[in-house]
Amino acid sequence: MPAFAGESQLQKSTNILHEIMGTPDKGIPEELFEKAVCVGVVPSQYKFALGLGGTYGRGVLVCRKGGTGEWGAPSMFTLGAASIGFQIGGKATDVIFLVMNPEGARKLVQDSVKLGAEASVAAGPVGRSAEGATDAQLHAEILSYSRTRGLFAGVSLDGAVMKQDKDDNEKLYGRRVSAKEILIDGTVATPQSARALDNALRKYSPKGGRSFDRV
Q: How far apart are CA 210 and CA 104, in angstroms?
A: 11
User: Following CA atoms 13, 14, 16, 21 in sequence, which dihedral angle do they give, to the nearest 10 degrees?
Assistant: 130
Task: Decide if 105 contacts 184 (C-beta within 8 A).
Answer: yes
Instruction: Give the Cβ contact number of residue 77 at 10 Å.
Output: 25
Residue 134 has pLDDT above 90, yes or no: no
* Domain segments of the chain as ranges: 5-203
Of residues 49 and 125, the one with the higher pLDDT is 125
Model confidence at 130, in pLDDT bands (50, 70, 90)? confident
The pLDDT value recorded for residue 88 is 42
Task: Decide if 83 contacts 54 (C-beta within 8 A).
Answer: yes
Model confidence at 144, in pLDDT bands (50, 70, 90)? very high
The pLDDT value recorded for residue 87 is 44
User: Following CA atoms 75, 149, 47, 94 in sequence, which dihedral angle do they give, to the nearest 10 degrees?
Assistant: 10
Question: What average pLDDT does range 88-116 have in this prediction?
Answer: 88
Model confidence at 132, in pLDDT bands (50, 70, 90)? confident
Residue 123 has pLDDT above 60, yes or no: yes
Inter-CA distances, 74 with 27, 39, 131, 190, Å? 22, 10, 30, 7
Task: Decide if 35 contacts 66 (C-beta within 8 A).
Answer: no
The pLDDT value recorded for residue 198 is 97
- 8-35 pLDDT, tens digit per residue, is 899 999 999 999 998 878 889 999 999 9
The pLDDT value recorded for residue 89 is 47
Residue 165 has pLDDT above 60, yes or no: yes
Residue 40 has pLDDT above 90, yes or no: yes
